[in-house]
C-alpha cells in the first residue's frame, strides 16, 4: 500500500469520541450555570473549580465533605431509558450526609463514566445533577465525564458525587449531647431513595415478575416510575432549623435503614425506641415485603421504610419544630424517643 494512502488509527477508532464529549459539554452548560452561587469564581472548562468561601460569616469555619453514588438504581434508568433524575440521587446521597452534621452544602463535583458517550444522555444525567444541586443550594463547579469503551457496556454508565459544605465549629452536630427523654422526629422519604435496590430488583423484577412498565394499582403508577423516584434532599427543611433549636443529632436513613443508621449517632448509654405506626407506610415497602416474603427485621435494616431523615432534640422543642416544618408545607412526624440503652433501635407500637 502506498504510504500516502495509509490512515493511522484514531481515538475514535478505539471507541472514544472527543467530538461527542465537546458536544455534551455544550449541552450541559445551561443546566450547570443555573446552580452557580456568588462564591463561584470559575466557568466550565477549567482544570479546577474555584470557590471563594466567605469566612466572615463564620466564627471558626469547618469544611465538611462527603461522597457517594447511586448504586444499582441506575439499572432501572437503563431499563427505562430515562436518565434525567438519577443525578438528583447522586447529589442527595452526598448533601444529606453532610447536613446531619449541621453543614450547609456549598459546592458539588461529579464523576460520570460511560461505555459510549451519547451527548444527549450525558446532558440528561447532568441536568439531574444540576436539579439536585439547586435543591441542595450548592453550586455544581466541576466534574469529569470519562468514556470507557470495553469497561462499561455501550448503554451503561456510573455516577459518583462529591460535596463540600461548611459549619461553624461550635455548631457541629455529632450526637454527643443526645440524652434519654429526647424526641425523635422523622421526615418522610419519597420512597426507596437510593438504597436496597439489589433486593428490590430481585423481589419485584425477578420473584414478582413485574416489568418496569407494569402498572400497579397498589403503587398508583408503574413499577419503574416508583423505583426511579428521586431521593429527597432535605437542605430546605433542615437548614432553617439550625441555630434555632437545640438539635442534638440527625441521621440520614440510607443503606442499613433505620436499624443501622440511627445508632451511628447515639452516645453510649442510649437507645432509640420507634413507633412504626407513627408515620404513614408507603405502598412500595409493603409490596416488596409481601412479594418477596421479606422478614420485617430485614426490611428495617435494608430500606428507609418511609423515613429519610431523623432529627433528635429535647422533647419540649418537638412541637415547635413540627409546627415550623408544617408551616413550610413539610410533613413530619414524632416517631420515637431516646431511652437508656445500648446504642440500638427498638420498635414498639405505642404512643411516643
Is the CATH number 3.30.1330.10 carried by domain 3-171?
yes
Q: What pLDDT, on the 0 to 100 scale, is given for residue 39? A: 87
Interaxial angle between packed helices 18-33 and 119-136, expressed in degrees from 0 to 180 and rounded to the nearest 10: 30
Average pLDDT over residues 48-56: 89
The continuous run of DSSP H or E covering 296 comes out as helix 296-300
Q: Is the model's pTM score more than 0.75?
A: yes
Decide if pLDDT at 22 tops 80. Answer: no
The better pLDDT of the pair 352, 126 is held by 126
Decide if pLDDT at 324 tops 50. Answer: yes
Most confident of the ranges 20-34, 36-50, 61-75: 61-75
Instruction: List, for residues 181-220, the tens digit of each pLDDT value.
Output: 999 999 999 999 999 999 999 999 999 999 999 999 999 9
Q: What pLDDT, on the 0 to 100 scale, is given for residue 68? A: 96
Decide if pLDDT at 5 tops 60. Answer: no
- Right CATH number for 183-347 from 3.90.650.10, 2.60.40.10, 3.40.50.800, 3.20.20.10? 3.90.650.10
Split at pLDDT 50, 70, 90, the class of 136 is very high
* Cell numbers given for 97: 450526609
Q: What pLDDT, on the 0 to 100 scale, is given for residue 274? A: 97
Decide if pLDDT at 44 tops 80. Answer: no
Domains of the chain, residue spans: 3-171, 183-347
Instruction: Assess contact for 264 and 173: CB atoms under 8 A.
Output: no
* Cell numbers given for 120: 444527549
Average pLDDT over residues 123-136: 96
Decide if pLDDT at 292 tops 70. Answer: yes
Q: Which of 329, 110, 96, 109 is nearest to 235 (CA)?
A: 96
The CA-based angle 304-99-279, given to 5 degrees, is: 35
Q: What pLDDT, on the 0 to 100 scale, is given for residue 1? A: 46
Decide if pLDDT at 114 tops 50. Answer: yes
Split at pLDDT 50, 70, 90, the class of 140 is very high
Instruction: Assess contact for 302 and 196: CB atoms under 8 A.
Output: yes
Q: What pLDDT, on the 0 to 100 scale, is given for residue 7? A: 72
Classify 40 as helix, strand or coil. strand
pLDDT over 70 for what percent of the chain? 98
The continuous run of DSSP H or E covering 129 comes out as helix 119-136
* Cell numbers given for 60: 471558626
Split at pLDDT 50, 70, 90, the class of 98 is very high
Q: What pLDDT, on the 0 to 100 scale, is given for residue 352? A: 62
What residues contact residue 240 under an 8 Å CB cut-off, 6+ apart? Answer: 324, 328
Amino acid at each position: 500500500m502506498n504510504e500516502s494512502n495509509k490512515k493511522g488509527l484514531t481515538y475514535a477508532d478505539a471507541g472514544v469520541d472527543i467530538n461527542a464529549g465537546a458536544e455534551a459539554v455544550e449541552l450541559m452548560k445551561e443546566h450547570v450555570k443555573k446552580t452557580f452561587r456568588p462564591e463561584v469564581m470559575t466557568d466550565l472548562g477549567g482544570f479546577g473549580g474555584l470557590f471563594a468561601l466567605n469566612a466572615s460569616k463564620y466564627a471558626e469555619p469547618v469544611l465538611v465533605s462527603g461522597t457517594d453514588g447511586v448504586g444499582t438504581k441506575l439499572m432501572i434508568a437503563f431499563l427505562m431509558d430515562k436518565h434525567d433524575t438519577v443525578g438528583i440521587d447522586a447529589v442527595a446521597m452526598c448533601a444529606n450526609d453532610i447536613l446531619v452534621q449541621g453543614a450547609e452544602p456549598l459546592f458539588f463535583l461529579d464523576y460520570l463514566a460511560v461505555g459510549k458517550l451519547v451527548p444527549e444522555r450525558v446532558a440528561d444525567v447532568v441536568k439531574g445533577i444540576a436539579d439536585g444541586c439547586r435543591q441542595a443550594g450548592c453550586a455544581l463547579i466541576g466534574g469529569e465525564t470519562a468514556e470507557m469503551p470495553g469497561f462499561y457496556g455501550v448503554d451503561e454508565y456510573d455516577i459518583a458525587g462529591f460535596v463540600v459544605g461548611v459549619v461553624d465549629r461550635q455548631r457541629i452536630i455529632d450526637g454527643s449531647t443526645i440524652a434519654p427523654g429526647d424526641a425523635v422526629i422523622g421526615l418522610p422519604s419519597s420512597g426507596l431513595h437510593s438504597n436496597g435496590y439489589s433486593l428490590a430488583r430481585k423481589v419485584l423484577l425477578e420473584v414478582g415478575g413485574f416489568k418496569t412498565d407494569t402498572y400497579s394499582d397498589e403503587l398508583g403508577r408503574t413499577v419503574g416510575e416508583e423505583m426511579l423516584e428521586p431521593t429527597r434532599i432535605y437542605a430546605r427543611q433542615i437548614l432553617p432549623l439550625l441555630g434555632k433549636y437545640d438539635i442534638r443529632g440527625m441521621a440520614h436513613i440510607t443503606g442499613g435503614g433505620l436499624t443501622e443508621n440511627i445508632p451511628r449517632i447515639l452516645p453510649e448509654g442510649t437507645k432509640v425506641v420507634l413507633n412504626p405506626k407513627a408515620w404513614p407506610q408507603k405502598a412500595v415497602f409493603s409490596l416488596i415485603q409481601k412479594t418477596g416474603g421479606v422478614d420485617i427485621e430485614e426490611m428495617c435494616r435494608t430500606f428507609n421504610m418511609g423515613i429519610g431523615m431523623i432529627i433528635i432534640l429535647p422533647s419540649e422543642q418537638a412541637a415547635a419544630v413540627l409546627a415550623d416544618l408544617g408551616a413550610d408545607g413539610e410533613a413530619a412526624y414524632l416517631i420515637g424517643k431516646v431511652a437508656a440503652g445500648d446504642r440500638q433501635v427498638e420498635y414498639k407500637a405505642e404512643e411516643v
